[in-house]
């Protein structure tokens, strides 16, 4: 994975494309967040037949769910006026995007790893000249393609973020939608609970009916006993004969 300095330089150059007066706490969060996944790691929950456990994730895999999560979390904090956290989460999102571009096979060879890291760091200093044409590759093992893709993807994410964070949102409409979904969820669970309750009642009724039917001994049984056909035991006794 790229060095911390590389992550930060790509971010800095990507930010240079926006003529915005960004808050200092937002920027602080952004530059801290972009290296943070290497310090505070996300874990993946693995459910196997034997047990459930947490596994540290590998950075060169693509974690689209995490990328989406941290992007949305950054917008969440913006709406709550927590600017540092907003920047921080956006930084984590960008870190995963940068890492995801580096093709996996390359990373397994230790020497190539070190080599490519140095190469990436070197190239990141000359992004402006290097990435004149827009390159976006989802994964690559070519250092120039990696750097330029990381750069252009960062610009896209930042642009989306700035657009979305300044958009007007109809909060009441959203609240209403969430409320409806929660009611539907509740009704589904309630429906199944009622079904299970009545199933249990039915089982109980079945047991009672079974007992009553077995114990039903009409007169004809007694006549049959006296005629030597069957033996009818008295209810509620364990007879000696």
Nearer to Zn ion, 34 or 155 (CB): 34
116: nearest Cα among 102, 129, 127, 136: 102
CB 156 within 8 A of CB 97: no
CB of 158 to Zn ion, least distance (A): 19
CB of 147 to Zn ion, least distance (A): 15
Using alpha carbons only, what angle is made at residue 155 by residues 90 and 105, rounded to the nearest 5 degrees? Answer: 80
**C-alpha span between 85 and 93 (Å, rounded):** 12
**C-alpha span between 226 and 62 (Å, rounded):** 86
**C-alpha span between 206 and 199 (Å, rounded):** 10
CB of 61 to Zn ion, least distance (A): 10
Nearer to Zn ion, 38 or 117 (CB): 38
CB of 35 to Zn ion, least distance (A): 8
Residues that bind Zn ion (CB under 5 A): 1, 38, 59, 99
Nearer to Zn ion, 1 or 93 (CB): 1
CB of 1 to Zn ion, least distance (A): 4
Nearer to Zn ion, 17 or 58 (CB): 58
Region class of 40: left (phi > 0), else alpha (psi between -120 and 50), else beta: beta
Nearer to Zn ion, 3 or 82 (CB): 3
């Amino acid at each position: 994975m790229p060095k911390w300095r590389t992550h930060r330089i790509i971010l800095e150059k990507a930010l240079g494309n926006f003529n915005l007066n960004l808050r200092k706490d937002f920027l602080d969060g952004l530059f801290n967040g972009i290296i943070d996944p290497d310090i505070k790691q996300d874990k993946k929950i693995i459910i196997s037949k034997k047990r459930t456990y947490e596994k540290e994730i590998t950075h060169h895999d693509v974690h689209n769910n995490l990328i989406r999560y941290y992007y949305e979390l950054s917008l969440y904090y913006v709406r709550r006026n927590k600017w540092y956290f907003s920047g921080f989460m956006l930084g984590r999102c960008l870190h995963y995007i940068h890492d995801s571009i580096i093709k996996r096979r390359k990373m397994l060879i230790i020497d190539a790893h070190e080599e490519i890291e140095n190469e990436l760091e070197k190239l990141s200093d000359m992004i402006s000249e290097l990435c004149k044409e827009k390159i976006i590759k989802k994964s690559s093992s070519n250092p120039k393609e990696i750097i330029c893709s990381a750069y252009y993807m960062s610009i896209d994410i930042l642009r989306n973020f700035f657009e979305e964070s300044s958009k007007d949102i109809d909060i009441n409409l959203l609240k209403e939608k969430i409320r409806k979904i929660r009611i539907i969820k509740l009704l589904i669970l309630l429906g199944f609970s009622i079904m299970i309750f009545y199933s249990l009642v039915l089982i109980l009724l079945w047991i009672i009916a079974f007992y009553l039917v077995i114990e039903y001994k009409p007169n004809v049984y007694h006549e049959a006993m006296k005629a030597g056909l069957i033996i009818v035991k008295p209810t509620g006794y364990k007879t000696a004969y």
